[in-house]
Amino acid sequence: MGVPIVQVDAFANRPFGGNPAAVCVLGEPRDEAWMQNVAREMNLAETAFLHPENDGYRLRWFTPASEVALCGHATLASAHVLWEDGHLPSSSQARFHTQSGLLTADRRGEWIDLDFPATPPTQAPAPPGLAAALRVGPGWVGRSKFDYVVELDSEDAVRGLKPDLLALERVDARGVIVTSRATTSGYDFVSRFFAPRVGVPEDPVTGSAHCTLTPFWSERLGRTEMTAYQASPRGGVVRVKLVGDRVILGGQAVTVLRGELV
């Protein structure tokens, strides 16, 4: 028997939107080299690997280039697969043991709520080459646990950004989040996420980036619940809520492909 693998579009309510992730539900752990090879073969922003552990599942995430410590869309995809494929009853909470601690997922009708750690940014000097790589003069610049955050003055500036990805790869961070207040009705803020350093030139919808953006925009807008839009070419909606030092990320997911690693 081969290993089943499922491709899911996360933070999407239809196929071919949001952020695709591959999910492998394993009966037992596999070695890192094998997981990295599978992720490279899938060539998606993230491939998730999980196996039963204690009261939940051990969950690890790999880009085509490396393992990462936190990923929202592949966690959303993993929970979706656990419920859809009958690994968990639809009424049960999905519990994941990860490098970033215990993460949970709960079904809320057509939506899935993820409970993640907040990673608020602090203001920091722009690193050498950042402004030139983005080809725009940044306003506020900060650094979170994983990424740089750059605030621009308009949604149009965020949507129109055409960074030099080779230059951006030299910036010493997992990735760069670019954001602004939203002017599109129905959204509070917009963002884009670039991570060429870990093999993801532009990520379509980034859950972990919203662990940073939620406290950032909560402080500026004076709200704890907001609706975000990641303005990549595929695009995706994330409902966010700040609860102390945690962030609730709400999204939808759609299965688009099932296969078997032989």
Give the largest CA-CA distance in the chain.
54
- Spell out the domain ranges in the chain: 3-114+251-261, 122-244
Same fold, 3-114+251-261 and 122-244: yes
Contact partners, residue 251, CB within 8 Å, separation at least 6: 10, 11, 12, 18, 72, 73, 76, 111, 112, 114, 205, 207, 236, 237, 238, 239
pLDDT in single tens digits along all 262 residues of the chain: 789 999 999 999 999 999 999 999 999 999 999 999 999 999 999 999 999 999 999 999 999 999 999 999 999 999 999 999 999 999 999 999 999 999 999 999 999 999 999 999 999 999 989 999 999 987 899 999 999 999 999 999 999 999 999 999 998 889 999 999 999 999 999 999 999 998 899 999 999 999 999 999 999 999 999 999 999 999 999 999 999 999 999 999 999 999 999 9
Burial of 161 (0-12, 13-18, 19+ CB in 10 A): middle
pTM as predicted: 0.94
Question: What's the CATH code, domain 122-244?
Answer: 3.10.310.10
Task: Just list the catalytic residues.
Answer: 46
Q: Which CATH architecture has domain 3-114+251-261?
A: Roll (3.10)
